[in-house]
Amino acid sequence: MALKKRTFSDIKKKFSKGAKFKPNRFFDLGKAFLDATGIPGPAMGHLQMFLGHSDTGKTTALVKTAVDAQSKGILPVMIITEQKWDFEHAKLMGFDCKQVVDEETGELDWDGFFLFNNDFEYIEQITDYINELMDAQLKGELEYDLLFLWDSVGSVPCKMTFDGKGGKMHNASTLADKIGMGINQRIGKSRREDSKYTNTLVVVNQPWVELPDNPFGQPKIKAKGGESLWLNSTLVFRFGNQKNAGTTNISAVKDKRKVKFATRTKITIMKNHVNGLGYEDGKILITPHGFLVGKEKSEEKTSIDKYKTEYAEYWSAQLGTEGFEINEEKE
């Protein structure tokens, strides 16, 4: 009996397999962020990074991501290792939280639809915590999509370095093993259609600057923690310039009193392996309440005037009087 000739279609059916994934979804950080970057915000189901020098808008973006997550019923998990978190400031930006009294201790605490943990000494404790929550999710003990927000990844050592026996290379190696080969795989798998939940990890990171190897070269911004975080991040937002913050301070002035009103900063999409979109020349204003349009002068003036009207009571309290002028001071 003659054997049936195997066609390429038969071969393909036997050996090709394609996992099906959920459609791309993004957190929405508002119109100003969309205008500046070309995308609404971080993508769901991915590891991504907010990279930039100090005071360039990274934490503001982190908080606004948490705010949108709360509105969508996605549970924000705040992982704070830089110890600069301020609930009052987050509340100004729309983060849903309230101060309560602990019935057992009588101490003041913050409550709301979020998880908060700043009790970490080294990287392995953080990755264990993230895995613990995803394990609880699989067991049905945590029935929410999870948004992990880590501020900041470059501010905490690995266990060996914490014990005085390691250094930067050990920190980078730990991040590569625990994040790149571990957590990132679980985060990515949550995008599959057969996954009940979609989990996301956004890390804030400060850079170091690699100087050029020739007089005509340009400095390059590099992420702390080694190449693994960069390679495993599907989206990287850079805030500010390569070499320095490159921001402009904008002050509110009245009767010789001056307070910080806003900061103009740049936002660049350095890497986008989600949909390939994004601008490299974005500008935006950072205020205590979030972002304002900042690319064009005319749009910026309109957004500032609207913001001043909407938050007149807040700024009157800061200045002790109504009405004020706006002054710019280049850093």
- SS3 letters across 202-229: EEEECEEEECCCCCCCCCEEEECCCHHH
Name the amino acid, one letter, at 116: F
Please give the structure tokens belonging to residue 278: 């994004």
- Asked if residue 290 lies in contact with residue 303, where contact means CB atoms within 8 angstroms, the answer is no
Mean pLDDT of 11-38: 94
Count of other CB atoms within 10 angstroms of residue 314: 14
The DSSP secondary-structure symbol of 55 reads: T
263 pLDDT tier (thresholds 50, 70, 90): very high
pLDDT tens digits for 198-209? Answer: 999 999 998 887
Nearest to 182 by CA among 129, 103, 253, 255: 129
Is the pLDDT at 35 greater than 60? The verdict is yes
CA atoms within 13 A on the CB side of 194: 4
pLDDT tens digits for 139-150? Answer: 999 999 999 999
Round the average pLDDT of the chain to a whole number and report it: 92
Please give the structure tokens belonging to residue 225: 């923690």
Rg (CA), the chain: 23
pLDDT tens digits for 59-107? Answer: 999 999 999 999 999 999 999 998 889 999 999 999 999 999 988 888 9
What residue ranges in the chain does DSSP mark as E strands? Answer: 47-52, 75-80, 98-101, 108-111, 115-117, 146-151, 200-205, 207-210, 220-223, 235-239, 248-254, 257-272, 282-287, 290-293, 325-330
| Chain centre to alpha carbon of residue 137 | 22
16 by DSSP, 3-state: which? coil
Mean pLDDT of 38-50: 97
pLDDT of residue 1: 56
Mean pLDDT of 253-263: 88
Alpha carbons 288 and 141: distance in angstroms, whole number: 36
Place of tokens 């093993």: 177
pLDDT of residue 298: 85
The DSSP secondary-structure symbol of 155 reads: G
pLDDT of residue 211: 76
- Asked if residue 50 lies in contact with residue 58, where contact means CB atoms within 8 angstroms, the answer is yes
Nearest to 238 by CA among 283, 194, 201: 283
- Structural domains for the chain: 25-242+267-280 (3.40.50.300)
pTM metric for this prediction: 0.93
Q: Which residues, in sequence order, are CB contacts of 44 under 8 Å at separation 6+?
A: 24, 25, 26, 27, 74, 145, 191, 198, 200
274 pLDDT tier (thresholds 50, 70, 90): very high
pLDDT of residue 294: 82
Name the amino acid, one letter, at 81: T
Alpha carbons 244 and 327: distance in angstroms, whole number: 22
Alpha carbons 84 and 73: distance in angstroms, whole number: 26
Is the pLDDT at 3 greater than 70? The verdict is no
pLDDT of residue 137: 98
Nearest to 65 by CA among 259, 290, 228: 290
